[in-house]
Structure 1
Amino acid sequence: MPRLLPLILWLLSLDLHAQPALIPWPRSVEWLDGTFLLKNVSLHADPGLEEVATPLLDYLSAIGAKATATNELLHPVYLRRDPLLPKEGYVLDIAPTRAEVRVSEAAGVFNALATLRQLTTTAEGGSYWPCARIADHPAYAWRGTMLDVSRHFYPVDFLERYLDELARLKINIFHWHLTDDQGWRIEVKKYPRLTEEGAWRTEADGRRYGGFYTQEEVKRVVRYAAERGITVVPEVEFPGHCRAALASYPQLGCRKDTLPVPTTWGIFQDVYCIGQEATWTFMQDVLDELVPLFPSAYFHIGGDEVPKDRWHACPVCQRRMHAEGLADEHALQAWAVKRAQHMLKAKGKTLIGWDEILEGGVDSAAVIEVWRGDDQARKARANGNRMIRTIYFDASPASLTLERVEQFDPRVDGSDQLVLGAECPVWSEGRDPRNLGYSVFPRLFPYAERLWTGEAPRADIRERMRPHVARVESDGWLTATQDADLFAANIRYEPARNEWLVTTQRGRPDITVAFTGPDTSGVFTDSLRVREAGTWSLTPLWKGQPVQDALNIPIVRHLGVEATQTVIPLPDPKYGFDPAKGMSDGLLGSESFRDGQWQGWWGPDPVITLDLGKEQVITEMSIRCLQDVAVWILLPREVIYETSTDGKHWSTLERATHAVPMEPGPRIIHTFSARPATPTKVRYVRATLVNAGPMPASSLGAGNPSWVFADEFVVR
């Protein structure tokens, strides 16, 4: 008895009425008096459940609860089969002297374990489960997330950490986006160049970036997920988003030309030549190797954002259309999707595609992943297709706020008919292993509860999230503590001080910013004043480690920096930090037109005038402009440079043109320059950026007005 007294006092000291912060919240919970001590626990499984009992036994061993001696009081846990329970459902009956877990199938064991992990409470005297009766099952069978590993690569050990977090929240689908324009990430032994060349790209700074998964690594990830009740659904993009494959095997494209793996994002015109049989042989070979790696009943082919221009100009594709009696290129894509569907069906797989595969007609047996809203979901339902709804977690918390996630409803017009469930994709243009957590946490918590319960998260979801957020942060995950961008910097020239002021917006107060500049470096938080021209680099840090690549800010001093600027018309307010001075503030834009330094005009010809304050000798004028056809940005047709001594009478110095084709391709920064034959003394300079006109027929925005983007009117 004296040996039991400390244990009895400890048990009496527990707050037996405190509710664990369960996420997702179960359908039915009845809290009872007492606790089940997690010490010397023995596990007893019904016949046929011994193998699926392994995860529960492993967990008990990991927390030191598994019985190791038989001469002490045992605490039995019984794993029972109950065929009357709903699919994936479970029942927990936890009493002080015994605990019972009832399931109808293996998936129920994983879901029960997720709840038991969250019930586990550790106090000074040991760990325990509070006594309770919980009956639970999911509302949706498809509770998924998607990770794009093409734009940025995620190592296997990182994926395993991520799968651990998904399992804790009963997320049961991991959609693995394995191929895209910017990288082919999975080994295909018959086509080694897919990973020798297609898995790597040369970045603007010369770095070779990339990576891929061997087939053995794929098996490891699939097995690791299965051991946690998660199904891995692969995605291999077809017939578009395939530049990495075409870089490896140019003969698969319509033009057969050698193309690099892109280093920029967006939609690219080059797609598979689906009119030739060689492409179908390639796809059959790829599926022959990859399908056996994934036990999932589903295989995703993408099918989204497929430009049709290459097919329209391709004699082989046109002959295919004629032979198959296809009216247009949309019908050609529909034919290709159906052919891919038959290939997968022969292998026992159901095809999934993004909602563009509805265009031109699609078999009702295909599953549609809806990303473009309710109208596409209605089309899928009208065609009899089951569907997966989406909420894109790569969107910044500043726009996709926690409240908006809490309001997410996967239903279509209030009905669950044909809705399998949902996914929260993370596209990786702006995310990588250093900062994925910022996109996922804490938004994954209300999302998981919505899909599990079928209802809006309970009102106390944010309070229940607190210990979960603390735990994932302690495990090294960067989380979003507020609805804000992870990091942004605003740079303005201050004429009165003749210097530049850098201010930051940090998504977390504990993020600091490391900076380097000409002959200086250091760390700051909110603001930094800069006087020296040159390249300044800003790197946000969390716990002393970078959370994204450095933001490089090139600053140039020139005569225009201290000039008075006039711009007619003003640039679009969505672009540029400083419309009053942004074309002559000494700041050069990056490759991102959203960086705040680029000024944008849609349609008109902007005219930028600089008053230098007094007559000065000039030797050169230049303006950098951007072209990114995928987002409707074209280089000006020409830039007309003029000079004046009085601001009233103007002389044309030069009409600067270019020879860059207006066709989809890599983002281009082009400098339009003008140099007088001899140094010229003037006070006023003017540049007119002549818009290129409507978007060309070869672009997705054909016929629409184009944008002009410029970043600095440099005068020397």
Structure 2
Amino acid sequence: MIKNYLFSALFFLLTLDLAFSQVQPEIIPMPASYKLLEGEFLWDHQVGLVMNDFSAQGNYLQQEDLRLLAIPLSEMESPSKKISISQTNSISQGYKIRIQSEEIVIEAANEEGAFYGVISLLQLAHAAKVKSGKIALPNWEIQDKPRYEWRGVMLDESRYFFGMEKVKQLLDHMAYYKLNTFHWHLTDAPGWRIDIKGFPKLATVGGIGNQSDPNAPATYYTQEEIKEIVRYASERMITVIPEIDMPGHATAANRAYPEHSGGGSERYPDFTFHPAKETTYGYLSKVLREVDVLFPSNMIHLGGDEVSFGNQMWPKDPKVLDLVKREGLEGMKGVEDYFFERMADTLFQMNNKVLAWDEMAGASLPKDKTIIFWWRHDKKEQLGLSLQNGYSTVICPRIPFYFDFLQQEDHKYGRKWAGAFAPLAAVYDFEVDDFGVKPEEKPLILGIQANLWTETVHNEQRFDFLMYPRIAALAEVVWSEKAVKSYVGFKNRLSVHLEKYKAEKIYYFDPFEPDHHPEPVYEP
């Protein structure tokens, strides 16, 4: 009797959750508030676009409508059925959508809000049923705004290079999920992937090799390609932030210009820039000036992580020992911080903020010009130190936001941490509040990002398999308030997105049918 009662209660709760999810709008990430109205809007080529404001967002709607829905949406003066995009002062951020049988109205305070309103409309249309050749959109009232300011994805292209078209495809999906920050890891030990006019060998020599083949032909982005990706991202309301890693992870750069090497270790040769040569600082400052011109974000990530992997020559170097004595530094960590603070000063002179991994949470950097990225999930004290020191902080712990980690127990070719991995549910259920952040520190949390390191991502199939659909779960974590989230509802809405991936020939992981796309083998 008790078993029957428990089963009935469980079935009732599951049915209730399913029923709740079925009256949600078919949007990822889930909007802040929504109301289903009676009736529907039938969308075909006779619907006109009225752009009272935000012409760029209207043009984007036209382009994506044609690409995704195959319906030409023309601008008209007085159409009988219309979609309009207008500016309003009734909200300060986000957007409002009202769908009625004869009209769809998108309102926003600014271009960013209008863009996200367009994205939500596209998602609703993509999920809608087709009646007599017309897309039948349920009538909704939706008001929405983001939970976090920073909604990011990091891509490592030092270890494997993917090229402009793959990056643009990622930017398209970031836009589709209202993600707004693309952190581009362009330099590391295996390869240097950005053309620097003042030091051409950084790309032509430092760009040789990848994670599995040190002799692979040089691959890198020209400055014209960089400008095109920055432009393409900007159209999609995405800020591009480059990472030029230092003082560690410098092996590729040191192949090109060995006179600036600070040495390394047996496992990590020539891993560091030399911290005690004035010429090193002049050289890297010139590099950063070119990077600053290419990226208008006024933010450059300087790494600052894992220097101890390859600074074994520093304690033996007379110049470094003299620096320690002259500046009163505390050991090699003091040298590391000294180097980083000097290069940060270079960025400040160019009106840039400096971004760094959590190893720099204890450095002496100005609070208003510094952003720390907490990545070491096993070192919660570094998150606490960053917040205690007043630094704006981006949350990106390995578990669950390193997307090169395995998605389920029987996968073989990604990474684990002490047996832990990063399944879709762990991404979706993540909450910053679970880490004991004090109420007064919460304003310092800028947001969350996922990082795709590419040690095991040697081709586009593995890229897709690891990124999709976890990117959709990330979107709901960083945009939607906890009160409107439901993992059951998310998975129901996800089905349409898997069909979209299929149409775009993306080799995604299917959480409903895990063997649909077998895990791609990593062959170093």
- Call closer, same or farther: CA 1:285–1:75 in 2, change over 3 Å: same
Which residue in the other structure is 2:417 paired with?
none
For 1:288, the aligned partner's letter is R
Indicate the residue corresponding to 2:448 in structure 1. Answer: 422
Query: Which residue of structure 2 aligns with residue 461 of structure 1?
Result: 490
Do the aligned residues in 1 keep the contact of 2:158 with 2:188 (CA within 8 Å)?
A: yes
Pick from 399, 422, 431 the counterpart of residue 400 of structure 1: 422
The question of whether the paired residues in 1 share the 8 Å contact of 2:160 and 2:211 is answered with: no
Structure 1 counterpart of 2:360: 357
What is the correspondence of 1:82-481 to structure 2 with a 5 Å cutoff?
82-87=88-93, 89-120=94-125, 121=128, 123=130, 124-201=132-209, 208-255=216-263, 270-307=271-308, 308-365=311-368, 366-373=370-377, 374-390=380-396, 391-398=401-408, 399-411=421-433, 412-414=435-437, 415=439, 416-432=442-458, 433-455=460-482, 457-458=485-486, 459-481=488-510
CA contact (8 A) 1:330 1:359 kept: no
**Number of the residue aligned with 2:8:** none
Name the aligned partner's letter for residue 475 of structure 1.
Answer: E
* Equivalent residues of 2:86, 2:106 under 8 A apart: yes
Question: C-alpha separation between the residues in 2 aligned to 1:155 and 1:285?
Answer: 25
Distance 2:350 2:254 in 1: 26
Q: Is the 8 A contact 1:173 1:232 kept in 2?
A: yes
Asked if structure 1 preserves the Cα contact closer than 8 Å seen for 2:465 and 2:508, the reply is yes
Q: CA deviation at 1:137?
A: 0.0
CA-CA distance at 1:79 after TM superposition: 1.8
Give the match's secondary structure for 2:74: coil
Contact kept? 2:404, 2:453, Cα under 8 Å: yes
Return 5+ residue gaps in structure 2 as ranges. Answer: 1-21, 409-420
Q: Give TM-score scaled by structure 2 length.
A: 0.83
In the alignment, is the contact (CA less than 8 A) between 1:153 and 1:210 conserved in 2?
A: no
C-alpha distance 483-336 of structure 1, shift in aligned 2 (>3 A): farther
Superposition deviation, residue 94 in structure 1: 1.5
Contact 1:215 1:293 in 2 (8 A): yes
Distance 1:82 1:358 in 2: 41
The answer to whether the Cα contact below 8 Å between 1:92 and 1:132 also exists between their aligned partners in 2 is yes
Letter in 1 for 2:169: R
Q: Following the alignment from structure 1 to structure 2, what is the Cα–Cα distance between the partners of residues 483 and 349? A: 45
Cα deviation, residue 408, structure 1: 1.2
Alpha-carbon distance in structure 1 between the residues aligned to 2:107 and 2:183: 29
RMSD: 2.6
Pairwise CA distance, 1:235 = 0.5
Q: For 1:210 and 1:407, locate their aligned partners in 2 and report how far apart those are by CA, in whole Å.
A: 41
Task: Give me the whole-angstrom Cα distance separating, in 1, the residues matched to 2:31 and 2:360.
Answer: 37
CA contact (8 A) 1:402 1:483 kept: no
In structure 2, the partner of 1:23 is: 28
Distance in 2 (CA, whole Å) between partners of 1:358 and 1:188 is: 29
C-alpha distance after superposition, 1:20-75 (max 9, x if no partner): 4211110111111222233333333345x3344332343345442423788x9532
* TM superposition shift of 1:242: 0.6
Aligned-partner residue type, residue 329 of structure 1: M
Amino acid at match of 1:98: E
Residue 59 of structure 1 aligns to a residue in which SS? helix
Q: State the 1:206 CA deviation.
A: 8.2
Relative distance call for 1:195 and 1:478 in structure 2 (3 A) is: same
| Inter-partner Cα distance in structure 2 for 1:483 and 1:51 | 38
CA distance in 2 between counterparts of 1:204 and 1:392 reads: 20
Q: Is the 8 A contact 2:190 2:211 kept in 1?
A: no
In structure 2, the residue corresponding to 1:448 is in which secondary structure? Answer: helix
| TM-score, normalisation: structure 1 | 0.62
Name the structure with the higher helix share. 2
Q: In structure 2, what is the Cα distance between the partners aligned to 1:194 and 1:312? A: 27
Superimposed CA distance per residue, residues 218-273 of structure 1 (whole angstroms, 9 cap, x where no aligned partner)? 11111111111111111110111010000111001135x9x9xx9xxx75563000
Indicate conservation of the 8 Å contact 1:237/1:302, yes or no: yes
Percent sequence identity is 28
Structure 2 counterpart of 1:395, which letter? F
2:51 counterpart of 1:45: yes
Instruction: Indicate the larger mover: 114-123 or 138-147.
Output: 114-123
Q: Please report how far the alpha carbon of residue 548 of structure 1 lies from its aligned counterpart in structure 2 after TM superposition.
A: 4.4
SS at match of 1:146: strand
| Deviates most, 432-441 or 120-129 | 120-129
Task: Give the Cα separation in 2 of the matches to 1:216 and 1:274.
Answer: 32
Amino acid corresponding to residue 100 of structure 2 in structure 1: A
Task: Report the Cα distance in structure 2 between the residues aligned to 1:245 and 1:149, rounded to whole angstroms.
Answer: 15
| Higher gyration radius (CA) | 1
Structure ranking higher in strand proportion: 1
Contact kept in structure 2, 1:338 and 1:363, CA below 8 Å:
no
- The residue number in structure 1 matching 2:10 is none
Paired residues, number: 469
1:616 equivalent in structure 2: none
2:73 paired with 1:66: yes
Q: Which letter does structure 1 place at the counterpart of 2:494? A: M
Question: Relative to 1, partners in 2 of residues 1:297 and 1:75: Cα closer, same or farther, differing over 3 Å?
Answer: farther
Structure-2 separation of matches of 1:53 and 1:340: 42
CA spacing shift, 1:204–1:51, aligned 2, 3 Å: closer
Higher RCO (C-alpha under 8 Å, 6+ residues apart) = 2
Inter-partner Cα distance in structure 2 for 1:206 and 1:429? 13
The 2-side partners of 1:125 and 1:331 are apart by: 68
What secondary structure is seen at the aligned counterpart in 1 of 2:152? Answer: strand
Amino acid at match of 2:386: A
Contact map agreement 1:35 1:130 (CA 8 A) in 2: yes
CA contact (8 A) 1:180 1:242 kept: yes
Structure 2 SS opposite 1:53: helix
Confirm or deny: 8 A CA contact 1:274 1:317 kept in the other structure. Answer: yes
